Amino acid sequence: MPEFQHQRALGFDFGDRRIGVASGQTLSGTAGPLTMLPARDGIPDWSRIEALISEWQPDVLVVGLPLNMDGSESEMSRRARKFGRRLEAWYGRPVVMVDERLTSYEAKGQVMAEGGSQDFGRDGVDDRAAVLILQTWLTGG
């Protein structure tokens, strides 16, 4: 990521049932939650992703890569990579894969610390995980 170039980004926390989405920019180095998209077996409503890309006009798309704790890849890693390849092919924007180990765990901790319930689907864990993924990319982590 060139530090001298201002870029807008959308971050994605890929999942089987939900895909969290966040927006951010390199100028301020900040990211914020946008939405959680329902998915069926990892397949989102692509028209909703297209609408987000049209609205936010990102320069880059950042997708979390769910690695095992030892750094090896899993079936979910392969599926997240496939999701990233589709984003790049269909929307013509570069896709960066970012190690997302422990982001969902950290996002759940944030929700609990704020007094949220354990119904994490309603309390924004996936979009918060997308924020953490995007912040990792923004800070070069």
**Distance between CA atoms of 118 and 116, rounded to whole angstroms?**
7
Task: Report residue 115's pLDDT band, with 50, 70 and 90 as the boundaries.
Answer: low
Position with higher pLDDT, 1 vs 60:
60
Q: For 47-69, what is each residue's pLDDT tens digit?
A: 999 999 999 999 999 999 998 88
* DSSP classification of residue 45: -
The percent of residues in the chain predicted with pLDDT above 70, rounded, is 80
**Rounded Cα gap, residues 13 and 125, in angstroms:** 10
* Backbone torsions φ then ψ of 86, nearest 5 degrees: -65, -45
* Mean pLDDT, the chain, integer: 85
List the 18-25 sheet strands across, edge first.
43-44, 30-40, 18-25, 8-13, 60-65, 95-99
Identify the structural domains of the chain with CATH numbers, from first to last. Answer: 8-138 (3.30.420.140)
Q: Which two tokens stand for residue 38?
A: 């329902």
- pLDDT computed for residue 124 by the predictor: 64
Encoding tokens for residue 10? 């959308």
pLDDT of residue 104: 52
Residues 36, 124 contacting (CB under 8 angstroms): yes
